[in-house]
Amino acid sequence: MFLQWCGDVLPKVYIFAQRFVSGTGRGFGSAPLKKHKRWLQALDNLTTMTRTTILYLTLLLGIGCINKPETSQSVGAFSTVYDTLEQFQIPITLTDEKWHEMHKKHIDKYGIGNGWELLNHPFAKLSVGEKYKAIIFISTDETGSPTVVTIDKGGNPIDTLFLLGDSGGNDPWIWTTEMATINKDLTIELLDSVSTFDVDTTTYERIANSKKIKVTKDIYKIRTTGEFEKIR
């Protein structure tokens, strides 16, 4: 509405400026002069300071219209059943402990979703694009881990990225830990630490000082299509 109004008014702003600069009716054209003769006569009676003040305010109005950012009507314009969810606050780094605490508060407040379908277990809104909305869901496996799913305008999933879920392990040979960081620019960093051990073949206990660690870090971004792209 504002931009449309500016489009109607802005040409008149510069006509006003011409009028005040010249001090005459030149710049309006003969037809407007005849139509608004009384109004123009009243302008001629204004003092120089009043003219200057009105000119200054008029130019400010014009600059405001020019600098008003154009917002796309299509961005986030479509509705989904997830629009009433709370906004997920970023930047944030999720560990198993931190997520467990957040998950528990969510369950205490909203209860547990129905069934095993992932889309029935939403947690929070993450971001909005022109062609997608990114929602954080709670996985329905035994981990209950955070999962980012992008949704199209029809409410259908586009892509999925699991943030946590593989930490721990019952195997004495291996132990894994994970961290997920969602940055302000919506890049997602997944840090995976895998510890391996030598194990006594008789007792199946880990041998002291045999621990070896391998750390991998993957970084993703959400493309304009709503698909996740691994960028590193």
- Distance in angstroms (rounded) separating the CA atoms of residues 122 and 139: 9
| pLDDT greater at residue 39 or residue 151 | 151
User: Confidence class of residue 84 from pLDDT cuts 50, 70 and 90?
Assistant: very high
What is the DSSP-derived secondary structure letter of residue 77? -
Structure-model confidence comparison of residues 184 and 43, the more confident one: 184
| CA-based nearest residue to 1, from 57, 60, 68, 63 | 68
* C-alpha to C-alpha distance for 40 and 34, rounded to whole angstroms: 9
Contact 133, 82 (CB under 8 A): yes
Which range among 57-71, 81-95, 124-138 shows the weakest confidence by mean pLDDT? Answer: 57-71
Residue 19 has pLDDT above 60, yes or no: no
| pLDDT score for 225 | 96
Predicted local confidence at residue 1, as pLDDT: 47
Lowest mean pLDDT among 1-5, 154-158, 193-197, 202-206: 1-5
**What per-residue confidence (pLDDT) applies to 166?**
65
Mean pLDDT of the chain: 78
Is the model's pLDDT at 215 over the cut of 60? Answer: yes
pLDDT of residue 114: 85
Mean pLDDT for 147-161 is 96
163 Cβ contact partners less than 8 Å away, ≥ 6 residues apart: 94, 145, 146, 147, 148, 178, 180, 188, 190
Out of 15-29, 41-55, 212-226, pick the least confident: 15-29
Phi-psi region for residue 37, left (φ > 0), alpha (ψ -120 to 50) or beta? alpha
Percent of the chain past pLDDT 70, that is, above it, reads 65
